[in-house]
Structure 1
């Protein structure tokens, strides 16, 4: 059990608030709309996943890149340029991401209030700066954190740069998130401790395999369980 003062770095999307569930709802509608007789839903989804992975590397993350990926998926699956009507249908899905509210994960608000009185808190989130800032503001959580860092990617270099910029001691610093790929593995590679809190709606491209023997990764089932350890 950790009780001494620590630095706790929190992921945002799908750790503090629900995010990917919105994308999944749009994808479900998109797959219904595509109705491909040969590929089926599974095949079209595989094509979309491949396109999203490529676009994330080049263009980053967020709803704008996601909608671009939907358009490219239409063209690849239907083997032609998307029509104006098809592009208008895709553009209409942008409304799903334009709300000014976020749905906090259960227990987040109360838990952060307690933790902020015990430890130093930072937020580290990736994606489009404007889009992520809107969600941070809508969450009404920013006052709990010393700093909010919005980055293009969360890889080992990101964590190493954060350690240097904030003068962090890796041995007493913990990265807390739902993504093995972006939150846990690169943080551990940078020498930080980590807390893995799975989310049933985690984006498939954020999945990866964690080492079950790594004693510096704490596995929890719910956000509020952080209070039992910190």
Structure 2
């Protein structure tokens, strides 16, 4: 049975509304090929990069600046000679290739979002670089459908409570919708919200996690595409 009208829908951006991680994966593949390491397998290089990203996020947050620093850190750790200016330029070009991508909306988003906005209050809630995320939203053409935009440094229960309080959201009529168990689903449930998990086959590996069970009185719904939200809302 569809949910009643008048809900507040907090909607994630990257890999929920538009493609994102596939471009990072292509850049990483190019980086691994460029490194062409003689003593480490591609899987080992990727493992080293994942670790570098975990560390860089703590100091630089999310976004292309952080990703670029992670590539440079990984390169430094796996090569015996100091990185050259030419190599710096080449590594930065991998990140730049992501910035140059056109916004590619995921199937069903362009058709369904206007309809959802007519019946519910939509708030974009994404994490990352303020400038990068705002630019992507502007280029997507979706900004008019959101009554508010929340670009946060991290998605955790405290942040969800702050966002819902700031926007005067009522927990039992507020939903977080996104593709990341780690950032969109588990902390939102912990903050007392309902959630909809939208599966995306290319979700960033650092966003993988076991999906928590919904506490009593809250709902967790899982769907395989954005367009399936039409059956819920």
* TM-score with structure 2 setting the length: 0.95
1:226 and 2:229 matched: yes
1:35 Cα offset (Å): 1.6
Aligned partners of 2:214, 2:144: CA distance in 1, in Å? 36
1:211 Cα offset (Å): 3.1
Aligned partners of 2:137, 2:231: CA distance in 1, in Å? 26
1:54 Cα offset (Å): 0.9
Aligned partners of 1:32, 1:94: CA distance in 2, in Å? 15
Tell me which residue corresponds to 1:63. Answer: 64
Residue correspondences, number:
230
Give SS of 1:117's match: helix
1:212 Cα offset (Å): 5.4
1:134 Cα offset (Å): 0.7
* TM-score with structure 1 setting the length: 0.96
Tell me which residue corresponds to 2:200. Answer: 199
Aligned partners of 2:93, 2:221: CA distance in 1, in Å? 41
Moved segments of 4+, more than 4 Å: 212-215
Give yes or no for contact 1:100–1:135 (8 Å, CA) kept in 2. Answer: no
Tell me which residue corresponds to 2:178. Answer: 177
Aligned partners of 1:209, 1:56: CA distance in 2, in Å? 21
1:200 Cα offset (Å): 1.2
Give yes or no for contact 1:55–1:69 (8 Å, CA) kept in 2. Answer: yes
Aligned partners of 1:171, 1:97: CA distance in 2, in Å? 38
Aligned partners of 2:32, 2:81: CA distance in 1, in Å? 18
